[in-house]
Homo-oligomer: A and B are copies of this chain.
Amino acid sequence: MSNPLQEAFNRTAYPITGHGKRNVQVLKEALDAYEGELDSDVYGAGRLIEDFQGKMAGILGKEAAVFFPSGTMAQQIALRIWCDRRGIKRAAYHPLCHLEIHEQRGLHELHGIEPVLLGGKDRLIDLGDVKELDDTIACLLLELPQREIGGQLPDYGELEAISAYCRERGIALHLDGARLFEILPYYRKSAAEICALFDSVYVSFYKGIGGIAGAILAGDAEFMERSKVWKRRHGGDLISLYPYILSADFYFEERFPNMERYYEGARELAGFFNECHQISTLPEEPVSNMFHVHVKLPKERLEPLLMELYEETGVGLTHYLREKGEASCYFETSIGDRYARIPKDELRRAFALLNEKLAAAL
């Protein structure tokens, strides 16, 4: 599965993205914080799972929360329940929504729900788009930040207006908050304040939080009870989910307080990128810990240049490149624990060298 760029990245002393390697140590470290005598959760019951669900319901400001093995499962189920409540099998979301591009059309194949793609591929859904929805839509999913366009966010006022409009029209509003905790520093709001604009919300524990896997879905008590039935149907009501729950809780406690630092790191790093020839970031000023880096150079020309850079500086910028047309390529960057550990001098030296190499490549 590996490729030369990935291998070169893996050898660098200073990879700029993420918290660290995704290896078994991540779980070992979390488990070390718990006593072996702690009883397993059993089919969704037991203090271990109930306490965490209660804690997350509180943080998200919802009546109840349920832990799911994946966001894919949690979100399909959320949309299914809203569709059932309304008696309409249509849900609206962004053309680059996770459900549209990463789930093999599960929402349609398993739930018979027709997706309605709203807005354009290269921009956020806005109030104007939402006002075009007619009465045949049961619910609208908004993803904050919108990952596939670099992690962009609407102004908070726009979000409030969309929420108010949906409530007025009886359209359920669901938040794909896979990276919800990561946007709190930009909005200067609590998770509960943002979630109050939505009827249901999903959050992930292996993005900015850096856990192993797993998700929380939160909403009103009746909605969440319903979601447990669907969790069972999907095959997600595992006898034990504690390996994910304990690591979610452990890394939440460790990293939730760091979200401001990751956000500031992303802004600084985007600045370094934007000073380079041929490079621009999307968004130009990040609004979370993530952004996309676009380079006006074909992938096959940038790749060897990056590998040289990694070798010469020990700074690893990305382990992959994606083509964007014939003349450009891009990659995604998410800031975690690693970024702050890189000496600033090394980082500046690497970007100066990158800039030279890009200028020479023109």
Contacts and interface: CB of A to CB of B under 8 A. Distances in A.
A142 to B, nearest CB: 20
Interface in A259-299: none
Given A25-B36, A240-B213, A242-B27, A234 B106 contact: yes
Contacts of A244: 243
A251 to B, nearest CB: 13
Nearest to A229: B104
Given A1-B45, A21-B39, A38-B23, A104 B70 contact: no
Nearest to A32: B28
B240 A70 contact: no
A111 to B, nearest CB: 7
A105 B25 contact: no
Contact of A236 (B69, B111, B246): B69
A235 to B, nearest CB: 3
A26 interface: yes
B1 A24 contact: no
Contact of A106 (B45, B102, B105, B232): B232
A266 B27 CA distance: 36
Contacts of A88: none
Interface stretch (A72-80, A149-157, A336-344): A72-80
Nearest to A46: B1
A234 B111 CA distance: 10
Contact of A235 (B21, B36, B76, B239): B76
A21 B69 CA distance: 23
A109 interface: yes
B45 A23 contact: no
Question: Which of A21, A102, A235: most chain B CB closer than 10 A?
Answer: A235
A73 B35 CA distance: 31
A38 to B, nearest CB: 4
